[in-house]
Amino acid sequence: MRVKPWVAFTTALPDDQVEDGHNNIVLFGGRNVAVAIGEIFTQLGCEVAEPEHAAENGWEFSLRYEARHRFWCQVNSTSHPVFRLLFENMSFRPGAAPDAAAYAELALKLAAALKNDPQFKEVTWWSIKEGPPEEDEFGSAEAKKQAREDPSSPISAAGKEGGRPPWGCLALALFVTLSGVASLSLFFAGISRDRPGEIIFSGTCCVVVGLLGFLRAWYERVET
C-alpha cells in the first residue's frame, strides 16, 4: 500500500504568527499546530523532536517510530486556519517492506487520531501527484475534483508501495556500473596499463556507485 504524504486540515488552534509593526512576518505561524501534532505522535508511541522554524515553509520536526523507523513532518500555512502537513518516510530504506509497513501503520493511526481530535477539522489526505489544495481552494468543489480517490483515507488504492523503479535512474546506474566494469576489464586484460592505480580506483568507484544507484532506484520505486 502507498501512503499519501500530504494532509490538509483546518484547526481551532489560534494563529501564532508574529509580525512587526509594518506587517512584516518575524515568525511564521504553525508552531502550536506542529506541537499539537507532535503530541499526537508521542501518544502513538513515537519519539518526537522539538519543532524547528523553517521560515516560509513553516515548522518541521523529526520523529522515530518503534525506535528504528524515521519520519519527518513539516507544517505550514499561508492563510490561518487552513494548514498543510507533509509527512514523509525518512528511513534508510523507505521502500523496504518493514519500513513501508511502519509508514502505512503510523499514517492510519495518525488519521484516526486527527479524526477524533476536536482541534482538527476537515482533514483530507493527498498523494504527491495530487498535492494538497491551495488555501483558497480548500473545501471547494474544485478541490474535491482534484482528488482521484477518497481523500479521507491516508492510503492510496491506485498505487502500491514497491511499484516500478524510475527508469531514468536505473539507466544512469547501469551506465555507471558498465563503465566501471569496462575500465577494470580492459586493465586486467592487459589492454590498458597506464596509471594502474588510477584505473583500478576509478573503475571500482564506478561499480560501487552504480550498484548503490540500483539499490536507491529500487527502494524509491514510483507509483504505478
Provide the residue ranges of all domains of the chain, joining segments of one domain with +.
2-156, 167-219
> Of 158 and 214, which is predicted with more confidence?
214
> Of 217 and 59, which is predicted with more confidence?
59
Mean pLDDT of the chain: 84
pLDDT, tens digit, 9 for 90 and up, residues 65-99: 998 899 999 999 878 999 999 999 998 776 677 78
CA-nearest of 100, 62, 81 to 13 is 81
Residue 164, pLDDT > 80, answer no
Handedness of CA 185, 188, 192, 194 (dihedral sign): positive
Q: How confident is the model at residue 2 (pLDDT cuts 50, 70, 90)?
A: confident
Q: How confident is the model at residue 15 (pLDDT cuts 50, 70, 90)?
A: very high
Whole-prediction pTM value?
0.69
How far apart (Å, rounded) are the C-alpha atoms in residues 159 and 152?
16
* H or E stretch covering 31: helix 31-43
Residue 222 has a pLDDT of 47
| 172 touches 213 (CB < 8 A) | yes
The listed range with the strongest mean pLDDT (125-129, 156-160, 161-165, 167-171) is: 125-129
pLDDT, tens digit, 9 for 90 and up, residues 23-56: 788 899 999 999 999 999 999 999 999 999 999 9
Average of per-residue pLDDT across 144-167 = 68
| CATH, range 2-156 | 3.30.310.80
